[in-house]
Structure 1
Amino acid sequence: MALRYGINSVRVERRVLEAPKNLMQVILILAKAMALLCYTERRYIFYLPRAIVHAVLDKDKKTIGSECRERSDCEEVKGREILKELQEFERLLNLARICSRGKRFPARLCTAGFHEEDVLYRETTSRIMKPAFTVIRDKESKCLLVFIRGTRSIKDTLTDALCAPVSFDHNMVSGHAHRGMVAAADWIRKRCIPVLLEALHQYPNFKIKIVGHSLGGGTAALLTYKLREMEELSSTRPTCVTFGSAACVTLKLAELGKPFITSIVNGSDIVPTLSASSIHDFIAEDRKDYKNILGAMRARLSSAKAIAKDAVNYCTEVLSLFLSESIDDDDDEYDWSEGSDHDDSDDDNIDDKEEDIIEEDSVSQITESTRRHLYPPGRIMHMITSHMSENSNSNHSDADEKHVCLYQTPTQLYGKLRFSRGMIRDHRTERYLEKLQQLINTLEKE
């Protein structure tokens, strides 16, 4: 199994990364992705629903908020400087939402203070490894803005699903990145570079900012890595802002992007922790917990069997004492506890077989889980809703939700998959805008 995975992984990494040009290439890419999934995950993917249910219903699990307050490497961020930065982030996210919607785009853009000639390039239809994106000239902030749309269609979802890590280097640092997003970033790069160079020729003092949410966030980060390597853009040094970015790069590359990439994460958003390796580790951990529970139940059952066996032996001795006069010599050779001993040995054999199977599965999982973990890129800022109203005298039930804190968190925190009831809701663009506004209001009051 592990050998098959290694062979397929090498084949995927050596293949030229580019978006499909025709239907046949699309079919081949999806077929290889499905084959890789079947080879590596078919033994464990069926355990995923049970693992999710256990994680969601676990009342003792730690939330990201409680972990941030307990960890020494998580620092709460306050002050005027971060307030100005957050106001800019809110503005960029509003523009990204406008660009992601096709209906009434000119009217919405005009309301935001832009004109039709400010739209330098616009790709409205997404395809596999070809996400929709828009290039806008912002004279107010003197920036060229590239907005990459997140997952909005089944074709975007297929790009997300092509998650095998592939080789990805930046400034002599070798690493790996999400395959579908690498191909999407390369496809966008070929189309936006001529537009950016022409605009910079006309406005040489402008900067370049690349913005994206979800799939668009991961693609935006990978595009930023590539654009910063170009000599033609050495004077502008593109930067990136992502919202709910998918886990898209290995640890070294994620850390390398901290000076020029900012990733905003909201609450229980699951996407920044979601990758093939984190899912595999999540299932393996659940299997381990299940084995411990099963072992405890087996120990209790064995204890009950021992008590029952002693009781049977005691009753047998008593009966033998009272019936000894009426029992023939041949019957003395019969062991009253033989039947129970025989049944117990069969149960022990069954238990041993079950334990061997579980142990074998655990070893297989450890062998096959030696995969490259992916993380959200750059400096990570996590918005956390406070559920403690120590300084609030309000009697309203929603008073706690209006208090939002901002923490700068370490990249390693997002290597573990976390499930909660708000994991999907907190990923929505509207939810990010809502929490950003609450956070800005909180910081303005302070």
Structure 2
Amino acid sequence: MSIICGLPLLECVYCLACARWAWKRCLHTAGHDSETWGLATAEEFEPVPRLCRYILAVYEDDLRNPLWEPPRGYGIDPDCLIMKKNYEDTLGRAPPYLLYLDHDHADIVLAIRGLNLAKESDYAVLLDNKLGKRKFDGGYVHNGLLKAAGCVLNAECDILKELVEKHPNYTLTFTGHSLGSGVAALLTMVVVQNRDRLGNIDRKRVRCYAIAPARCMSLNLAVRYADVINSVVLQASC
């Protein structure tokens, strides 16, 4: 009798515990994860606004005659724009991107745009994944984003190698927003793993700034590549 009477009580406790978990989960934001982190230094944050402008520049059809230029411009010298690829150029296998030789900051920058809500190919890249589908360097990564990163590297490997060797004191920066940030992060990892394809570039010259990054790798990889991949999150933007 006592056991039977205790069952409803256990069910109530279980339901309350589940409700509490769901309530806390709904209120949880990415800001809670980073609330105890230290602030970035001015030097660490310095490239971020500039790289955000480069990413926005990918959305323009013609940088010499921009339509949506921000108040202070994109900060890009069109004469130093190495290339700019659109969806037709990538065949939808990767988001559009540009390659810019930034002499003012001694930087070779490959910037990738974010998710285009009107492009089925972007959704195809994003949805090409399932838990545990793709292993990489002892961890797991997003399959579709890794494939997109591979497409970009295969297409631009020769020109990147040429620029890296021609400008040995320049850094090589991969950056992107949202979907593009995931491609940029995995592209950075692939480059670090295959530095011989870019003339054995020093790992210290390679870096990534992922703006509002997509979740694209397991925690062990995020920790292992933390020296080259920087995630930039505004409050709960992820």
Q: TM-score range by the shorter chain?
A: 0.7 to 0.9
Residue matched to 1:240: 208
2:191 to 227, 235, 243: 227
Q: 1:214 to 1:141 in 2, by over 3 A?
A: same
For the 8 Å contact 2:31–2:236, the answer to whether it is kept is no
Aligned residues: 206
Match of 2:32 among 46, 67, 76: 67
Structure with higher Rg: it is: 1
Matched, 1:84 2:84: no
Say if 1:67 and 1:204 are closer, same or farther in 2 by CA, change over 3 A.
closer
Distance (whole Å) between structure 2 residues aligned to residue 186 and residue 66 of structure 1? 32
Structure 1 pair 204–139 and aligned structure 2 pair: CA distance change class (3 A) = same
Counterpart pick for 2:224 among 243, 253, 256: 256
Which structure shows the bigger proportion of residues in helix conformation?
1
Identify which of 90, 107, 120 aligns with 2:82: 120
Deviation string, structure 1 residues 356-385 (Cα, Å, up to 9, x no partner): xxxxxxxxxxxxxxxxxxxxxxxxxxxxxx
User: Residue 146 of structure 1 aligns with which residue?
Assistant: 110
Q: Structure 2: how far apart are the matches of 1:113 and 1:188?
A: 24
Match of 1:266 in 2: 234
1:250–1:65 distance in 2 versus 1, CA, 3 Å = closer
Cα RMSD between the aligned structures?
2.8
Counterpart of 2:125 in structure 1 is 159
- Counterpart CA distance in 2 for 1:247 and 1:103 is 29
User: CA, structure 1 residues 139+161, in 2 after alignment: closer, same or farther (shift >3 Å)?
Assistant: same
- Counterpart code for 1:268: A
Q: Structure 2: where are the runs of 5+ without partners?
A: 1-18
Choose which of 160, 177, 180 in structure 2 pairs with 1:196.
160
Q: What's the counterpart of residue 141 of structure 2?
A: 177
Note the C-alpha offset of 1:105. Answer: 2.1
- Say if 1:63 and 1:140 are closer, same or farther in 2 by CA, change over 3 A: same
Q: Which stretches of structure 1, 4 residues or more, deviate above 4 A after TM superposition? A: 57-61, 108-111
Amino acid at match of 1:239: R
Cα distance in 2 for partners of 1:212, 1:251 equals 20
In structure 1, what is the Cα distance between the partners aligned to 2:220 and 2:25? Answer: 32
Taking a change above 3 Å as real, the CA distance of residues 129 and 87 of structure 1, as seen in their structure-2 partners, is: same
Deviation (angstroms), 1:213: 0.7
Q: What is the distance in 2 between the residues matched to 1:162 and 1:87?
A: 34
Amino acid at match of 1:63: H
Q: Is the 8 A contact 1:129 1:181 kept in 2?
A: no
Residue 93 (1) aligns with residue 29 (2): no
- Judging changes above 3 Å, is the alpha-carbon distance between structure 1 residues 184 and 61 closer, same or farther for their aligned structure 2 residues? closer
Name the structure 2 match of 1:106.
64
CA distance in 1, matches of 2:84, 2:206: 19
Residue ranges of structure 1 left out of the alignment (5+ in a row):
1-53, 273-446
1-structure distance, mates of 2:217, 2:44: 25
The structural deviation recorded for 1:140 is: 0.8
In the alignment, the residues of structure 1 paired with residue 101 and residue 174 of structure 2 have an alpha-carbon distance, to the nearest angstrom, of: 12
User: 2:185 & 2:30 partners in 1: Cα distance?
Assistant: 25
TM-score by length of 1: 0.42
For the residues of structure 2 that align with 1:63 and 1:207, how far apart are their CA atoms?
37
Decide which of 170, 178, 187 is 2:151's aligned counterpart. 187
Say which SS state the counterpart of residue 129 (structure 1) adopts: coil
Name the aligned partner's letter for residue 189 of structure 2: Y
1:66 is displaced (CA, Å) by: 7.4
CA shift at 1:117, angstroms? 2.9
1:219: Cα distance to partner?
Answer: 0.7
1:215 equivalent in structure 2: 179
> Sequence identity of aligned pairs in percent?
20
| Cα shift at 1:228 | 1.2
